[in-house]
Amino acid sequence: MVTVNEAKEKIIANTSPLAAVTVPLSQALGSFLASDVVAPIALPPFRQSSMDGYAIVHSDVTEPGTALHLTGESKAGQADLPSVQPGTAVRIFTGAPVPEGATAVVMQENTSVAGNAVQIHEYPVAEGKNVRRAGQQIQQGAVALAEGTLVSPGAVGFLKGMDVNEVSVHGKPRIGLLVTGDELLKAGEPLVPGKIYESNSDMLKAALANAGIAEATVSYASDALEATIAALKALIDEHDVVLASGGISVGDYDFVGKALEALGAETIFYKVRQKPGKPLLFGKKGDKLIFALPGNPASSLVCYYEYVLPALRKMMGSGEPFLRSVRLPLRHAYRFDGERDEFLKARVEGGEVVSLDGQESFVIGSFAVANAIIYLPVSQNRVAAGELVEVHLLPL
Ligand SMILES: Nc1nc2c(c(=O)[nH]1)N[C@H]1C(S)=C(S)[C@@H](COP(=O)(O)OP(=O)(O)OC[C@H]3O[C@@H](n4cnc5c(N)ncnc54)[C@H](O)[C@@H]3O)O[C@H]1N2
Ligand code: MOO
């Protein structure tokens, strides 16, 4: 049995980033950059107006109501521009190039026009007012996004604005899921005594999809050693990471541990001093990672978020693989006995955290409405209302 921290350290120590691949930007969402992206152009590429109004020489405005001579127009997308001479103004629109000679743009609400004269009612006008400088966002040749950055919707917008259409990212792990349990029914089968609907595989696939891993192979094995060995071997051969659900405890029909042993997989740890998820096993066969997750749905999902996801995120190149951790006051008192650290399904609400009803490991309904996990080490087993606790935010 290892502690929660030992388990996390062992997982990170045994996990490496996958090789870099170049992919179209449209397929890179959720991946992590494998190298810096250098800006091929400056943004903005030219001086732009940030308002609809008039481009002027700011020092021409010596008093409220100064009149300037209107000489032309600059609209967005225009290449051939009039210049602005002292005493003159050019009509301009948001996003349009600021003509040479202009040092500021006055928004039209602060002006009035009569014929070819525009009166400026704003005084004084600051130099550079309403002008976006060329390269103000990013200079050509500067690092736009650093290695290890998540390709987020914002990153896609930033890169497309520089006509960057492909990026080098770390590959995504190929995942195999093994479902064990003779009690499990597939979707739509009639409910008969002693059976339950299988839910862990779709739950884990949903969690993987949330992490940007859209595909996973699912295999089913009956509660028998030979069937478990065969199914595990096939999954390990074809995937980078294998997640097994169920069959890892000490019952007569728990075969995942024995099957891994028969396959010559190395057990890095088995059992973690935690509740739920005590029987978690982490192993390796060559460079393939194996997580045997306890079958209880909430145990499986806690172990996924706390251990599997960080391994996957490290493989994908993230420098911050663990769930984001914050310290928040617990709304109510909470106490527990026993030797195991606890993970509680919880909700962060209005700057505090509340643990949800239904903490037993077979109860998944509380997870369905959770947005966080509270982590309480045994050393903090008597928590007063309002006391700070460690909260891991779910990536929903
Ligand atoms: N004598 C002991 N018994 C148990 C111990 C122990 O230390 N000594 N540990 C308990 C703990 S803690 C857990 S957690 C479970 C883990 O058991 P397994 O990983 O072997 O899981 P199963 O027995 O196969 O299933 C447990 C539970 O979950 C349901 N299940 C399983 N797979 C699915 C699925 N794909 N979809 C939905 N539900 C699933 C299954 O029907 C069981 O109810 O062991 C305790 N026992
Ligand atoms: O560790 Mo088990 O997941 O408590 O039920």
| 210-215: Cβ within 8 A, 24+ apart | 210/395, 210/396, 211/30, 211/309, 211/312, 211/313, 211/395, 212/29, 212/30, 212/31, 212/172, 212/316, 213/172, 213/173, 213/175, 213/312, 215/174, 215/175
Of all protein residues, whose CA lies closest to atom 13 belonging to ligand 1? 294
Q: Ligand 1 atom closest to Cα of 292?
A: 19
Q: Separation of 69 CA from ligand 2 center, angstroms?
A: 80
pLDDT band of residue 258 (cuts 50, 70, 90) is: very high
Q: Are 97 and 84 in contact (CB under 8 A)?
A: no
Q: Partners of 390 in the beta sheet? A: 327, 375
The percentage of residues in the chain with a pLDDT greater than 70, rounded to a whole number, is 100
Q: Separation of 186 CA from ligand 2 center, angstroms?
A: 24
Q: What is the pLDDT of residue 207?
A: 98
- Give the tens place of pLDDT for each residue, 169-184: 999 999 999 999 999 9
Which of 273, 361, 362, 367 should be mutated for ligand 2, with most atoms under 8 A from CB?
361
- Calculate ∠ Cα 78-83-88, nearest 5°: 120
- Give the tens place of pLDDT for each residue, 89-102: 999 999 999 999 99
Which of 219, 260, 296 should be mutated for ligand 1, with most atoms under 8 A from CB?
296
Ligand 1: residues with CB < 6 A are 179, 181, 183-184, 196, 198-200, 245-251, 254, 276, 278-279, 294-297, 299, 361-362
Q: What is the pLDDT of residue 366?
A: 98
pLDDT band of residue 189 (cuts 50, 70, 90) is: very high
Mean pLDDT estimate for the chain: 97
Q: Separation of 258 CA from ligand 1 center, angstroms?
A: 16
Q: Ligand 1 atom closest to Cα of 300?
A: 14
CATH tag, 48-132: 2.170.190.11
Q: Separation of 188 CA from ligand 2 center, angstroms?
A: 28
Q: Ligand 1 atom closest to Cα of 293?
A: 19
What ipTM did this prediction achieve? 0.98
Q: What is the pTM of this model?
A: 0.91
CATH superfamily of 20-43+136-170: Molybdopterin biosynthesis moea protein, domain 2 (3.90.105.10)
- Give the tens place of pLDDT for each residue, 117-131: 999 999 999 999 999
pLDDT band of residue 386 (cuts 50, 70, 90) is: very high
Q: Separation of 370 CA from ligand 1 center, angstroms?
A: 22
Domain ranges of the chain: 4-18+172-315, 20-43+136-170, 48-132, 324-393
Q: Separation of 302 CA from ligand 2 center, angstroms?
A: 10
Highest CATH level, class, for 4-18+172-315: alpha beta
Q: Tell me the mean pLDDT in the region 330-343.
A: 98
- Give the tens place of pLDDT for each residue, 43-85: 999 999 999 999 999 999 999 999 999 999 999 998 899 999 9
Residue in 225, 235, 290, 232 with CA at minimum distance from that of residue 280 = 290
Q: What is the pLDDT of residue 321?
A: 96
Q: Are 143 and 38 in contact (CB under 8 A)?
A: yes
- Give the tens place of pLDDT for each residue, 4-54: 999 999 999 999 999 999 999 999 999 999 999 999 999 999 999 999 999
Task: Please give the CATH architecture assigned to the domain spanning 324-393.
Answer: Beta Barrel (2.40)
